[in-house]
Amino acid sequence: MEKKKLIIYAILVIIACCSFWIMSAGGNVRLLGMEPAGEVGLHTNLTFTFSDDMVKQEEVGVTHSTEIIKFTPAIQGKFRWVTKRELRFLPEVPFLPSTTYQAEVDSGLVSVQGKPLSGKRIVEFSTARFQVEKVMTSFITTEDRIGVVLEARLSFNYPVSPVELEKALRLQLAGARDELAFTVKETGNSRELTVVSAAIPLTEKEQKITLTLPKDFLCVGGQKGLAAAYRHETVVGAKKPLQIINAALQSARDKYWINVQCSQPVDAETAAGFIELKPGVNFTVEAENDLLLIKSDQFKAGENYHLRIKAGLPAVNGLPLGKDFASMITLGDLEPGLSFTSRGRYLNSKGALNLGLETVNVNRVQLEIHQIYANNLIPFLNYLDNSRSEYAYSWQLPFLGKLVKEEELEIAGAKNEMVTTAINLGQYMDPEFKGVFQVSVYDYESRWRNDHKYVIVTDLGIVGKMGKNDLLVWVNSLESLAPKANVKVSLISKNNQIMATAKTNGQGIARFSDYQLPGDPTEPLIILAEEGNDFSFVHLKNSQIATTDFDVRGREYLEEGYEAFVYLDRDIFRPG
């Protein structure tokens, strides 16, 4: 019996030792966490930390698109191992507002030593919950001076649809049986929307107005609405002295201005005489209801400006400002940004092949150049048309062409100044390389900060003049402007079918007539010109010349009477 107990005890010890060896020596790799955790901003990278080395040193710093972590809802981006144990996700678009996400690590992920992943693989995080940040109200006297209208500026932490706001918002005047009618000023999605009520008759007593938004009211693109119903009360009362509520700095790209929030509307021209800025700069004042905008091209980033608004500034419908208002306005660093300088698409294949890139406070960018294969040109353009976009996402490009070059570029320039950098495409291509390319630039650390454009590298310039069912096409050299003879010109439909083909004559002209089959609703999408390995195209829908500046009405038709013309036997001459 004792011998049997000893055998069982020995077996248990062996099992324990094996388990310990598996956990310590053989063990599994674990996900330690994600940073930032919990609530994240719309524009942020995510870093996942593991307990063991997951890649070799040569893989650190490499950016790739392999889906190591699956996000629900899905979000486009790339991955980069910043250390052997830390994986960073670089989103190329902002996270959705007011949305809960799940990040699930691929179960097949193993460490360098071959240890499998175990334990928690799913991390939940969310963007900030949608909320109403503030409501600013003012009352404007009606034209007949016997009542007022309420203007309420609602500020949200995310953009809101004015159509949805108009459906959901309720305005109730105390004592009134019916709701107070209103309209929303803005027509586009915005974080700030202005509600204008119907006329409110003035009475001898104050009148309370209640604004209500229901629980679960949604922002644009959000999945979670308001956590609770929102309620704001304001009072229609007697005239009150003008008050300056606050003064705040605003900026966009390399421009600054100061927003001054008043309690009542103020005339801009009058206000300019009551405003003082030190150090002194030339400025203009604009008014938007109860908001004053102080603008100047001389504002400099990093400077402090002392703003003083003098007492006595009159309100349009109220008493004047009772005492001076003073505030220190600090101009911080400009928001980083980057964009191509031109939206032009055609580059002369025998020219410099330069693209201008404008940046502000961006020190390093990642350049990606993709070639779009000629046979994928129509699918590429159809995607752009359907998505109303000017570029294809990086995950779509491998299906349309190939990556020609990927490179990091250092940007040299002073802080808070616009820097223009020339990107020479010629250095990345063979001298005879022609075609369609999508050029993308990403802020190296913040890939959501990006710009894209597609360009056509060619020597074939195309001009087309289209009638009801005929088309005249000129093809010229972009380098010399000389006509191009014997160039193949094709009309291609949006379903990638060749509708007609012709060759240019000695003057570089190709003519098309009756290219549309009877009963066929298909219209040509592009004019394609081909000469050897060179090709170019014109997008018929997006390349039309606007006729706004031209008189295209034609002559008026006389309903009665005659129109006479006099001809001389000589050309115009000066008599005498």
Where in the sequence of the chain do the CATH 2.60.40.3710 domains occur? 29-127, 244-330
Nearest-angstrom CA–CA distance, 271 and 262: 11
Share above pLDDT 70 across residues of the chain, in percent, rounded to a whole number: 91
% of the chain exceeding 90 in pLDDT: 60
**Burial of 480 per CB tally in 10 Å (0-12, 13-18, 19+):** exposed
What are the tokens at 62? 């490499």
Mean per-residue pLDDT for 511-527?
76
- Determine the pLDDT at residue 24: 43
Strands 147-160 and 534-539: unpaired
Read off the DSSP letter of residue 397.
Answer: G
More reliable by pLDDT, 574 or 250: 250
Asked if 43 contacts 36 with a C-beta cutoff of 8 angstroms, the reply is no
The model's confidence at residue 508, banded by pLDDT at 50, 70 and 90, is very high
State the span(s) of the chain assigned CATH 2.60.40.10: 132-236
Taking CA atoms, 514 is separated from 470, 498, 509, 521, in Å, by: 6, 14, 17, 13
Distance CA 497, CA 524 (A): 9
User: How much is the pLDDT for 20?
Assistant: 42
pLDDT at 569 over 50: yes
What is the per-residue pLDDT for 143?
74
Give the least confident one: 136-140, 400-404, 476-480. Answer: 136-140
Of residues 347 and 389, more confidently modeled: 347
Question: Does pLDDT of 13 surpass 90?
Answer: no
Q: Which of 74-78, 124-128, 572-576 has the lowest mean pLDDT?
A: 572-576
Confidence class of residue 205 from pLDDT cuts 50, 70 and 90? Answer: confident
Q: pLDDT tens, 285-344?
A: 999 878 999 999 888 887 899 999 999 998 876 678 999 999 999 888 888 999 999 888
What is the torsion angle, in degrees rounded to the nearest 10, for the CA atoms of residue 137, residue 143, residue 148 and residue 151?
Answer: -20
The structure tokens 């011998």 sit at 3
3-state secondary structure of 163: helix
Query: Tokens 């006595």 correspond to what residue?
Result: 312
Q: Is the pLDDT of residue 11 over 70?
A: no
Q: Is 38 left (phi over 0), alpha (psi -120 to 50) or beta?
A: left
Class of domain 337-458: mainly beta
Q: Which residues on neighbouring strands pair with residue 259, listed in sequence order?
A: 248, 293
18 has pLDDT over 60: no
Q: List, in order, residues 6 or more apart from 388 with CB less than 8 Å away.
A: none
For the stretch 144-164, pLDDT in tens is 656 789 999 999 999 999 999
546 — pLDDT class (breaks 50, 70, 90): confident
Q: Is the pLDDT of residue 25 over 60?
A: no
pLDDT at site 556: 74
- 520, pLDDT greater than 90: no
| CATH number of the 29-127 domain | 2.60.40.3710
- Mapping DSSP to helix (H, G, I), strand (E, B) and coil, where does residue 398 land? helix
pLDDT band at 521 (very low <50, low <70, confident <90, very high): low
Instruction: Assess contact for 509 and 472: CB atoms under 8 A.
Output: yes
Token couple for 569: 């036997």
pLDDT-derived band at 562, boundaries 50, 70, 90? confident
CATH architecture label of 460-539: Sandwich (2.60)
The whole-number pLDDT of residue 10 equals 56
Pick the CATH number of 132-236 from 3.30.70.260, 3.40.50.720, 3.40.30.10, 2.60.40.10: 2.60.40.10
CATH code: domain 244-330 is 2.60.40.3710
Taking Cα atoms as reference points, which of 502, 506, 545 lies closest to residue 527? 502
